[in-house]
Copies of this chain bind each other. A is one copy, B any other.
């Protein structure tokens, strides 16, 4: 019997994260004056040790011992050969997935939540604020804060807060406090509620609230934390790809195709960046970020300078964006409903190093059902987007009669998102696709914004 789960021992767990900033050229984030922001300007928002990481160009950064010690609660995560899925697809491709669903909150998010909590604690911070869409990130940060005795306050997009009461409970079980956004606790929230009392909220609004709650605390002991998009978040997630590389080497494999779903970009970056390093050195790999057709930042939106939040509190970031006021259709993959895309991922797309794809909600859920009935584990709605693309590639390999090796990130389980499976199985879900008119409307916002350059890293 071939090995199904390729494991690493705790001793084999990587001791350093990979920093892609050492290997690609980036447009800098810009302040309100249109000039590159200085680290000092970010100091009220993030602790200085994390800001240093955000701007570091060191290729390898040591993972602190304490972070490694908590990673061991679930890491190294298994790399699993999806034999039963291969058989169902009758494909010559060999499919491997990295199971990030084994973490306590059930996704890849704690890979960065734990170091972020650690660095905040080291810097003397006592409280962290953040936002959450579907709830994965708020859960992960609540968990991480419980490990360091930090307070955690989470602004959760109201529509998700109402639909998924158990996410709030999960955060509370770890001691985190979750409140629906827009809220009356911040100027950002109050101003939305004045105009739209029944606002369902959005990730961009919730980010504004969380940033404001952090910077307005006069004790100086509160900071804000972001679960995706930023460089240091991508950095922390690279442990996924670094482990996967070691695991594949154990069975003498190397991927031809690598796939990850992409909302803000962090699980995609985590798996793929260590392989982008090889690609920059000449390896032939096809890398697909997969986004929902309802929120197509990489596949259809322009590469621009935009804010990460609704109120314009954040610097202007160089990214593929549908505009910071864009409200995505209510698809069930809440983690992929973000108007922008990580600057690093956007840069790779702009350079053609990765090839963006999009899939519809119904195709994603059909892929999730097939996965559950073959490989057993029930995937998150976000993860289903990656699986849908894996199925397309596996079928293509069959048509071409090629033994391709496909690697993808199984970014989380769907046990707190069974409502989307319920609606799908009952035939109550539809597809949403962004119309050209909506896209044009979204683009209009950038008319007077600065434009990033397309710089080639090679």
Contacts and interface: CB of A to CB of B under 8 A. Distances in A.
Interface stretch (A165-173, A396-404, A438-446): A165-173
A408 interface: no
A326 B70 CA distance: 45
Given A3-B10, A68-B1, A72-B4, A418 B166 contact: yes
Interface string A404-445: 000000000001101101100100000000000000000000
A7 B11 CA distance: 12
Nearest to A7: B7
Nearest to A378: B173
List the number of copies, as a whole number.
2
A195 interface: no
A146 to B, nearest CB: 5
Contact of A372 (B80, B166, B174): B174
A419 B169 CA distance: 8
Interface in A261-287: none
Given A175-B373, A372-B174, A415-B416, A422 B3 contact: no
Contacts of A378: 104, 170, 173
A1 B10 contact: yes
A221 interface: no
A391 B415 CA distance: 28
A354 to B, nearest CB: 30
A369 interface: yes
Nearest to A376: B104
A115 to B, nearest CB: 15
A143 B425 CA distance: 16
Contacts of A174: 372-373
Interface in A65-85: 65, 68-70, 72-74, 80, 84
B106 A415 contact: yes
13 contacts: A1-B10, A3-B9, A4-B69, A7-B7, A74-B376, A106-B415, A146-B376, A166-B418, A169-B418, A170-B418, A172-B425, A173-B372, A173-B418
